[in-house]
Structure 1
Amino acid sequence: MGRPISPLPQSTTTLYRAGRSRWWHRRAPGRWRGPGPPRRRGIWGTALLVLLVLVVLVAAGGAGLYLWAGQQLRHVSALGDYAGRPAAGRGTNWLLVGSDSRGELTPRQRRDLHVGNNQVQNTDTIMVLHSGGRAPTLVSLPRDSYVPVPGYGSRKINEAYADGGPQLLTRTVEQATGLRIDRYAEVSFLGLVQVVDALDGVRLCLDEPLKDEKSGADFAAGCRRMNGTQALAYVRARYADPLGDLGRVKRQRQLIGAVADEMLGADVLLDPVRTKRVLDVALSAVAVDERAGIGQLAKMGWSMREIAKGGGTATTVPVRLPGVMVSGAGSVLLWDENGASRLFRALRNDDPIPTSADK
């Protein structure tokens, strides 16, 4: 015997069309839905719908945050054409600059960092970040590098900023390296302190103890979380370091990588309130060239994070050791012409850098 036929619900009219195994359901007069039997939105369907709404909201918030950040970004005149400017190479070259102006530091910060109220603006940090078709490369140019400064003769490279601001520093780096600088970014002493503090500190590791009375650094070996003042003292130390300025540039790269890693980490990006707070401080601390935007700045940050994670290369321009004394300039570092030429030629062509580069 066949199974009994269940009566249809009163709210549903069912029709069967000959030759087709398709059921059509009408829940209200004049409104048909199908094909298939009546469906219910299960827990997964509801979850997907909620997820879709959240994605839309996050995207909208992200777009709003992006537009807001673009309006907050500060620009400086840093790039300019001139006769004999190097031609553009492959990839993108950022000039990253840390200004050692102390004028905006509080009296307590100046005391902790053992610095005076020096209004002269030199550059404590000068780096070239190259990104192209392979892993990014970060090259430190020691502040004591002795190079020609257009219009001023040979001087320490960090004096170019004091002599002519970002444009003269950019031109000096271009002429010394043969690389065209495509993008520019700078941050001050105070800006660095504020960014690190906004991140609730950064984790830095020391292979050996470091104590430098002139910078205020006094750290035991091992890993620790440093606040902004401590991190700045750590990267400024050089007099107690047997490598001097060369040791300092390595710590500068370490700090920049740690900051990029924190800013682009899940703890910041997945917390909208914290993201806004960190971005607000970071954008007030950094200044970029006239044509750089948030998109370019974000890409630069990802490249720095990749280097910090070991996915790129960090090195220093090859120099002759030891340093030499030059009348009127003091102790300076001379570049190894052959090594520097090979390094910058590789960057210009977006080739692997020489394996002898000192990390």
Structure 2
Amino acid sequence: MPAEPPERDVPDPSGAGGGTDSAEQAQRWHSTTYGRARRPAAGRPAAQTPGREHRLAELQRPTDRATDRPAEPAPRDHAPRPDRPRRRPRVRRRRVLAVLAVLAVLAVTYPVALAWRGWSSVDQIAAASPGDRPAATPGTTYLIVGSDSRDGLTPEQIAQYSAGGTDISGQRTDTIMLLHVPDSGGPAALISVPRDSYVPIPGHDRNKINAAFAMGGAPLLTQTVEEVSGLRIDHYVETGFGGFAQIVDAVGGVTMCPATAVDDVRAGLDIPAGCQSMDGTTALGYARYRYTDNQGDFGRVQRQRELLGAIVSKAASPATLLNPFRAFPLATAGGNAVTVDEGASITDLAGFLRGMRAATGADGISMTVPVSDPNYRTGHGIAVKWDTEKALAMFADLKADDTEALRSLTS
């Protein structure tokens, strides 16, 4: 405990000079720190001892009851808090990281969900050749078939698509194409095979290639193409009347630019010349008509490739893919419209779509099997005779995965 100052009123026990001595003692006490003498440090003056007024002021200052320490003075209103400059950038960084994390998740889950939606609707069938098959060739070759079968169409849909009436049964091909996606880095190639091409059909002598599909379905058509070309067909893709129209409607229609007006009753088509947007029904008629086309089936296969290019381009555009209200219905419609071979996977279907986009793009190759006689008379009616030398050269280039060499056949 600090020493208390001597009482001035207590007389000196000796009885002599009590008052003077008391005053001197009090003076000496105030010249020390809490009653103890304090030696000044060498070389500097001694600190002044706080007086009674100062100590009373210290005792009267408000304290923090929780810590028994003097309370800090309240900050002034205009003075900024020292921690705010540190917290604001930290909060912004956290928000940016959260947004980036959400975008990263969407970038992975959205295309996966979209692909799965389409793939879950795809039908698969046995389409491999039943005979001796050619050896595997580099690149990936897809056999594409557009079936004109009326199976599954209602009478209303048959009338809407001008599909020829309910008395037509069985399966035929309106479109036969080969899509070759090379491993060599060359351009993808989309090649039309005229459906009236006169070729040998295994077990059925020579006939129009369209008859192979009618007689033996996808397996016999695959076998016919493999034996006549020497190519190994890796995958099979088929669509029908209704599916084609539904895909066009799902992408919001496509823009085509016919050079002349078209009025074809059999295809249910009556359109003016010039660029115009076509819905599914109109686009289907545009892809099918040939009787009023001066080029016949050759004009038709060219339009079919152009239409496929327009569909793929619009389906792969950001306006379609990034809009879930359009992308998911398109995936569903596309899946319902497509039938693939039983050995195909979702990766193979994705490769097909990428190949179609590349083949119908500016750097792709779009052509028809070289023909020498489009009006070749046979026992099965008028057929298409290939240019044997050029056709064999084309197939040899495909077998060698040298698609760039095909450009000499298209010039």
TM-score tier by shorter-chain length is: 0.7 to 0.9
CA RMSD of aligned residues (A): 2.0
Question: Is 1:73 aligned with 2:128?
Answer: no
User: Counterpart of 1:333?
Assistant: 384
Moved more, 212-221 or 142-151: 212-221
Any residues of structure 2 matched to 1:30-179 within 5 Å, and which?
A: 40-41=89-90, 43=92, 46-80=95-129, 82-83=131-132, 85-114=133-162, 115-117=164-166, 118-132=168-182, 133=184, 134-179=186-231
Residues 245-294 of structure 1: CA deviation (Å, up to 9, x unaligned): 11110011111111111221112210123221111111111010112122
**Displacement of 1:356:** 3.9
Q: Kindly tell me: are residues 292 and 358 of structure 1, through their superposed partners in 2, closer, same or farther at Cα, counting changes over 3 Å?
A: same
Q: Kindly tell me: are residues 112 and 161 of structure 1, through their superposed partners in 2, closer, same or farther at Cα, counting changes over 3 Å?
A: same
CA distance in 1, matches of 2:339, 2:406: 32
**Displacement of 1:354:** 3.4
Matched-pair identity in %: 42
Residues 207-254 of structure 1: CA deviation (Å, up to 9, x unaligned): 222222221222222111111111111011111111111111001111
Q: Kindly tell me: are residues 87 and 60 of structure 1, through their superposed partners in 2, closer, same or farther at Cα, counting changes over 3 Å?
A: same
CA distance in 1, matches of 2:241, 2:276: 21
CA distance in 2, matches of 1:226, 1:322: 30
SS of residue paired to 2:149: coil
Question: Is 1:203 aligned with 2:203?
Answer: no
Deviant stretches of 4+, over 4 Å? 42-45
User: Counterpart of 2:331?
Assistant: 279
Moved more, 241-250 or 109-118: 109-118
User: Counterpart of 2:344?
Assistant: 292
CA distance in 1, matches of 2:390, 2:401: 16
Residues 6-37 of structure 1: CA deviation (Å, up to 9, x unaligned): xxxxxxxxxxxxxxxxxxxxx9xxxxxxxxx8
User: Counterpart of 2:398?
Assistant: 347
Moved more, 177-186 or 53-62: 53-62
8 Å contact kept, 2:119–2:335: no
CA distance in 2, matches of 1:48, 1:250: 51
Question: Is 1:268 aligned with 2:317?
Answer: no
8 Å contact kept, 1:306–1:312: yes
**Displacement of 1:112:** 4.2
SS of residue paired to 2:203: coil
Q: Which ranges in structure 2 are unaligned for 5 or more consecutive residues?
A: 1-82
CA distance in 1, matches of 2:87, 2:358: 52
8 Å contact kept, 2:196–2:383: yes
Amino acid across the alignment from 2:337: A
User: Counterpart of 1:3?
Assistant: none
**Displacement of 1:68:** 4.2
SS of residue paired to 1:206: coil
Question: Is 1:234 aligned with 2:283?
Answer: no
Amino acid across the alignment from 1:166: A
Question: Is 1:213 aligned with 2:265?
Answer: yes
Amino acid across the alignment from 2:356: M
Amino acid across the alignment from 1:323: N
Larger Rg: 2
8 Å contact kept, 2:287–2:300: yes
**Displacement of 1:49:** 2.9
Residues 303-348 of structure 1: CA deviation (Å, up to 9, x unaligned): 2122322121000000113412212x11100110001001110011
Q: Kindly tell me: are residues 57 and 217 of structure 1, through their superposed partners in 2, closer, same or farther at Cα, counting changes over 3 Å?
A: same
8 Å contact kept, 2:175–2:195: yes
Matched positions, count: 322
CA distance in 1, matches of 2:392, 2:319: 41
CA distance in 1, matches of 2:174, 2:364: 23
Amino acid across the alignment from 2:330: V
Q: TM-score, normalised by structure 1?
A: 0.84
